Chain A
Amino acid sequence: MRRARLGPGGEPLLWFGVLGAPAAWALTHLAGVELSQASCMEAARGGGWNLHFDAWTIAVFATMAAIAVAAEVAAVLTFRATRDASSAPPRGRIHFLAIIGMTIGPLFLAMILMGGLGAVLLERCQQG
């Protein structure tokens, strides 16, 4: 089974499954806010920041969405590998964290997709 990958030393798959999606969302959030500020604020109208807004947005958001999906897969794999775990650590703790990873993946993916789609489809620099 996957015991070797879930030994007490490494557990990288588990941690990617737990932290990958939140990290991806955090990056899209920052990137999205910065891209919109760079496109729409005073400095941009001075012509300094010539950005291909849509291209950058799609690139960043698509990449991060893929990472979020990969993290979800990692969490599911870890969950299945530890299905037989009791509450005793480390397998019990790993199983618990895998459940957590599986739960949060879709939420962060939803935010990434909603934000990215909205930014591309809405009119640029329209004051809300």
Chain B
Amino acid sequence: MAVLDDAAVLRRRRVERLERVWEERSGLLGWLTTTNHKRIGIMFFFTALAFFAAGGVEALLIRTQLIGPDQHVLSPQAYDEVFTLHGVTMIFLFVIPISIGAFGNYLLPLQIGARDLAFPRLNAFSYWVYLCSGIFVYVGLAIGQAPDAGWFDYVPLASKQFSPSAGIDFYALGLIFTGVSSTATAINLIVTTFKLRAPGMSLNRMPLFCYAFLAVSFALLFALPPLTVATGLLELERRLGLPFYEVGRGGSALMWQHLFWIFGHPEVYIIILPAFGIATSIIPTFTRRRMVAFPLVAIAEILVAFIGFGVWAHHMFAVGLPTIETIYFAAASLIIVIPSAIQLFAWITTIVTGTPIFKTPLLWIVGFIVLFIIGGLSGVMFAAIPFDQQTTDTYFVVAHFHFVIFGAAVFPILGGIYYWFPKVTGRMYHERAGQASFWLTFAGTTITFMPMHVVGLLGMPRRNYTYAPGMGWTGLNLIETLGAYLLAGGLLLMTANLLVSIFRGAPAGEDPWGGDTLEWAISSPPPVYNFAVIPKVTSAYAMWDAADRGEDLRRLARGEMVLADGHEQPASTTLDAQLDDVLEMPTDSIWPLLLALALAGVFTMLLTGHLTTAYVFGGLALALLGCWHLKEPEEAT
């Protein structure tokens, strides 16, 4: 008995020391200077939700305008701005930031047994740049100069001659600006995944969630530069008259399409891969069994990202490229279905051969599987060039991508919110209301987007602000709009459920679900330092290894891998996760915020055409970067 008491006392003492070392600054200044991945993840989360609401309002405006023929809810110009902003907001300001910035940031260190990301200050910088870039884009809307050429902004429509207002400049500069945030997060997630895994977590023992985020991060690194080039050249053409896309002076309008889609196609896989990662986290937990074909699912996630770089011209099958050029893209577009199918088979088999518990998170994943199959089937139809040439730019493609983006990317995000809500808040949500919100949203999604296949095949083009009566489209559009309102209702119910549950939900405890990954080993919400003792890992389902988790308690008592001398974090080798080093992590810093503001100054001055002032802000940014690096952690060793 005395020995046990001693062990408990020792554990308590070590935990208290960690809490003292890792104590966070409170108040507003604490949040402005935080470099903690959980706080930053929460900030990303709420900011992304605000943009989701904005994008949702834009969607409802679109659907209301299309509720019947010849409506005048929105003028043609306003309609163009609304559908452009809807696409830009949902893709760049909601789904990417919530995936990598909220889910990736918060959960990746927890799942690999780490205490933070590899570059905490860079993480803070990512967030502040995201916030500034989102505001930057919406300032355009606020001053009546929103972008209006669609989210892919084709030239020559987007050139100065045909779009003289500043809306396109907000678009182009805004996307470059937000790309800085995503690139920084991608680098951070990769290095974290490579170097900060708990010793013993070799590549074959890494959770599938981490594989998905590794794939996303690499994809971002290589997909964003073409977008930067495309929009950068566009800005140079619009502001300085350099004729990259202007055919009359030797440019090429088609070059925009190539550049945009070299970014744009990987981008849509970037959108969906985190959702795959969330699905592969939820399924084992709620089916009480290991994921079928674990290595195949791991590589499927990376394959989708990799092959996704080779399919871009399937967005251009109707522009007149020679068949000997498009053949490569058709081949890759057909084969890329296979990794997605591998994952689907693995998920479905795991559910069917396991013991499924259909709580809210699993319901969202089952809904995701259904919607992804539908969206995937309509997608592979587009890989057949003749079919694509008939249906491109009709509502058939709108149906396809909403099934895959909303159904297959957002459903797992919503399921993931329910799944990890207990961990982040320490409270349980209301299960019945959760299930109801799923069914409402699923019904709304199906009712909104399924008829779009039909109306597309009946010839309704996308992006038209209205349509004539007697085309055979009226009834279906009405149904779609009603479905959209139902969908919104489901999301509002979910919001209400979670808001109420934050204050009135039952206490969740550490592991309400019996999860298989390490975030369930610690308290809810997690302590600042995540793990009192760096976990011992001997399999890919660390939380289900009771022996290892018991050993962790003994190691905590012994002081082994507690690392409480400073803000300490172990680093491991990349492939086999052998302990390699102990790192001192940075603490609070104001410089990331200030640097983000300086960058905002640069982009704003570029927008307004004050180039000299832009240079001044650029110089300031460099100076702030220097100040940031005056503080050198890692001097402890």
Contacts and interface: CB of A to CB of B under 8 A. Distances in A.
B392 to A, nearest CB: 13
Contacts of B577: 89
A77 interface: no
Given A40-B324, A115-B327, A96 B338 contact: no
Contacts of B330: 118
A37 B325 contact: yes
Contacts of B538: 87-88
Given A90-B575, A107-B338, A115-B328, A126 B323 contact: yes
A128 B323 contact: yes
Interface string B296-313: 101100010011001000
A75 to B, nearest CB: 11
Given A29-B328, A96-B204, A36 B295 contact: no
A50 interface: no
Interface in A6-61: 8, 22, 25-26, 28-29, 32-33, 36-37, 39-40, 53
B50 interface: no
B335 A29 contact: no
A104 B299 contact: yes
B204 A122 contact: no
A128 B326 contact: yes
Contacts of A22: 306
Given A8-B576, A114-B331, A115-B327, A128 B322 contact: yes
Contacts of A123: 323
Chain A, interface size: which category? 35 or more
B27 interface: no
Contacts of B322: 36, 40, 124-128
A119 interface: yes
B327 A100 contact: no
Interface in A72-128: 87-90, 92-93, 95-97, 99-100, 103-104, 107, 110-111, 114-115, 118-119, 122-128
B331 A93 contact: no
Contacts of A125: 322, 324
B295 A128 contact: no
Where chain B touches its partner, the secondary structure class is helix
Contacts of A99: 295-296
A87 B537 CA distance: 11
Contacts of B338: 107
Interface in B516-565: 538-540
A37 B320 CA distance: 13
A111 B335 contact: yes
B204 A87 contact: yes
Q: Give the one of B320, B339, B576, B578 with max A CB within 10 A.
A: B576
A22 B309 CA distance: 12
A95 B335 CA distance: 25
A128 to B, nearest CB: 4
A93 B332 contact: no
Contacts of B539: 87
A122 B323 contact: yes
A100 B299 contact: yes
A107 B202 CA distance: 26
A99 to B, nearest CB: 4
Contacts of B325: 32-33, 36-37, 40
6 contacts: A33-B328, A100-B298, A103-B295, A118-B323, A122-B327, A128-B321
Interface of A: 8, 22, 25-26, 28-29, 32-33, 36-37, 39-40, 53, 87-90, 92-93, 95-97, 99-100, 103-104, 107, 110-111, 114-115, 118-119, 122-128
